[in-house]
Structure 1
Amino acid sequence: MTIGDCETWGMMRSTIFLLICLSGFGSALGAEEMRRISVSGIGEVQVEPDRARVYLNAHAEARSTTEARRLVDEQLNGLAAALEAAGLEEDDLIAGQFTLAPQYDYGGVRRRFLGYLARRDVQVDVDDLERLNPLLDAALGEGIEGFQFIEYRTSREAELRAQARELAVADSRRQAEELATAYGASLGPVISINYRNTTSTPYRIGQEQMMGMASFSAQEAASMPYVPGDLSFIDRVEVVFELLVD
């Protein structure tokens, strides 16, 4: 065997040894990958709402832009005074976007100018649900008929989100432990966590129900059979544990 042949054979032996080592390392990684368990935990908390946000809009039509705006401002000023009389704070009323647009009648050969429609979106926060019906009555009394919807809320949102997260974590560990035990293994340390933020499902009622509520007197409203649905807070967490096999 020549010197060149010896060098070639030595390189081949080194290459074969390296391939064997890499193959063994890959098998070890494969075995490690197989010794993992992935679970998804879910936590849900439900609660009755104790506050609400009412979405309204004040609108008026007039021949001039100045008059249309004045009529809308007049409605909102009257609503603010009525809210104060009902025990709500002026800060509870949040004025939103204002729009002003010309209105036409297209029924004839030529369009006919009717005037200008002014509109102001409004939100009203109600921290006491017993004041909800008086608020709707006050809005109707001021000529505000643009009822959109009511969104029910809770003052314990941060607390309930934390509870849902704790339940999701506990659920993920319970599932992992039960599955590991069923297959004769035990849980090792956490390898990875994929957390999804808590989602909440607000409870809303629309315009038709709002108008129906506003038509009741305060005494009648107290005995109404209508009760808003519960609010739901749902949390999810995906966890990968190392699986220990004896």
Structure 2
Amino acid sequence: MRLALATALVAALGLATPALAQNTPPRQPTISVMGTGDAELKPDFANLFVSVETEAPTVAQASTANSAAAERVLARIQSLGIKRDDIQTANFQVFKVEPPVEKMNVSRDSKDALKFRATHQLRIKTRDLDNVGKLAGEILASGDMTFQSVSFGLDRQEEGGDKAREAAVRDARRQAEVYAGAAGVALGRLIEIRDGSAQPFEQPMMRMQMAAKAADFVPLVPPATIRYTANVQLVWELAERP
């Protein structure tokens, strides 16, 4: 009896399998392509970074001296035609300065035994890119500061990213059409878009340490453009050629 039931069950499964296979739709072939694109836009402004440094035996004295020096620097920068809103603090810190090696054995009671250094970094924004080198030289000539670096940026960040995305989509379609044509098929319905990234190409920050009155003109050449890059993954169904 058990053998008869087992035989019947196997027979029933054998009959059902073709029916289940017939109800399973065939998988639609697809192609997935990663596209890359870039866009280049002219920079709108430059950020110049300068630092004001002071040293004193105590944290309070170093901070107070730095505040006074920073006020002189701000007044000088504004006298060059830079608006107060375009001058911002980028960083401020106070740290202990270890004595030179030759003074390591000096008593802690000595004034040379311990000092504190206050550093106030300012970011100066200018839209006059043609004269950014001249401005850097004038800032240096004012004294009380060290010129550190300069970087360039865009106001219309979204525009650069969007143009790069459009270029990435065009690149993905071009690749997909090449693959499909070589395989003897055609692109069908676009079924998936996976956003990658869109960001400005990191312009190398021009770094330099220049003491005050080191130059009346700093040879800074703004980049002609700032490049944005984007990635996107697109998936199409494949179809027979018409």
- Give TM-score, length-normalised by structure 2: 0.81
Instruction: Report deviation, 1:98.
Output: 2.5
Q: Rate the CA distance shift 1:233–1:211 in 2: closer, same or farther, 3 A.
A: farther
SS state at 1:81 partner: helix
1:97 match: 91
| Whole-angstrom CA distance in 2 between matches of 1:82 and 1:131 | 17
| Whole-angstrom CA distance in 2 between matches of 1:107 and 1:18 | 93
Instruction: Report deviation, 1:24.
Output: 6.0
2:15 match: 17
Question: Per residue, is there more helix in 1 or in 2?
Answer: 1
Q: Rate the CA distance shift 1:85–1:156 in 2: closer, same or farther, 3 A.
A: same
- Give TM-score, length-normalised by structure 1: 0.80
Map residues 102-121 of structure 1 onto 2, 5 A cutoff: 102-105=96-99, 106-108=101-103, 110-111=105-106, 112-121=112-121
2:189 match: 189
| Whole-angstrom CA distance in 1 between matches of 2:222 and 2:91 | 31
Q: Rate the CA distance shift 1:227–1:98 in 2: closer, same or farther, 3 A.
A: closer
RMSD: 3.0
Residue 43 (structure 2) pairs with residue 42 (structure 1): no
Instruction: Report deviation, 1:5.
Output: 4.7
Partners of 2:36 and 2:230 within 8 A in 1 = yes
Partners of 2:48 and 2:124 within 8 A in 1 = yes
| Whole-angstrom CA distance in 1 between matches of 2:221 and 2:104 | 50
Q: Rate the CA distance shift 1:181–1:109 in 2: closer, same or farther, 3 A.
A: closer
Residue 48 (structure 2) pairs with residue 54 (structure 1): yes
SS state at 2:155 partner: coil
User: Which whole-Å deviations, capped at 9, do the CAs of 1:155-208 have from their partners, x for residues lacking one?
Assistant: 332212111111111111122123222322111112222211212123221115
User: Which whole-Å deviations, capped at 9, do the CAs of 1:75-100 have from their partners, x for residues lacking one?
Assistant: 22122222322222111111143322
Residue 2 (structure 2) pairs with residue 7 (structure 1): no
Q: Rate the CA distance shift 1:135–1:85 in 2: closer, same or farther, 3 A.
A: farther
Q: How many residues align?
A: 233
Q: Rate the CA distance shift 1:202–1:78 in 2: closer, same or farther, 3 A.
A: farther
Letter aligned with residue 138 of structure 1: I
Gaps of 5+ in 1: none
Instruction: Report deviation, 1:238.
Output: 0.9
More deviation, 156-165/100-109: 100-109
Residue 70 (structure 2) pairs with residue 76 (structure 1): yes
Instruction: Report deviation, 1:244.
Output: 0.7
Partners of 1:50 and 1:153 within 8 A in 2 = yes
1:141 match: 142
Partners of 2:43 and 2:153 within 8 A in 1 = yes
Q: Rate the CA distance shift 1:166–1:205 in 2: closer, same or farther, 3 A.
A: same
Partners of 1:54 and 1:125 within 8 A in 2 = yes
| Whole-angstrom CA distance in 1 between matches of 2:96 and 2:137 | 29
Partners of 1:196 and 1:236 within 8 A in 2 = yes
Map residues 200-215 of structure 1 onto 2, 5 A cutoff: 200-203=200-203, 204-207=205-208, 215=215
Q: Rate the CA distance shift 1:18–1:137 in 2: closer, same or farther, 3 A.
A: farther
Q: Rate the CA distance shift 1:225–1:134 in 2: closer, same or farther, 3 A.
A: closer
Partners of 2:53 and 2:119 within 8 A in 1 = yes
| Whole-angstrom CA distance in 2 between matches of 1:60 and 1:225 | 27
Gaps of 5+ in 2: 107-111
Partners of 2:48 and 2:136 within 8 A in 1 = no
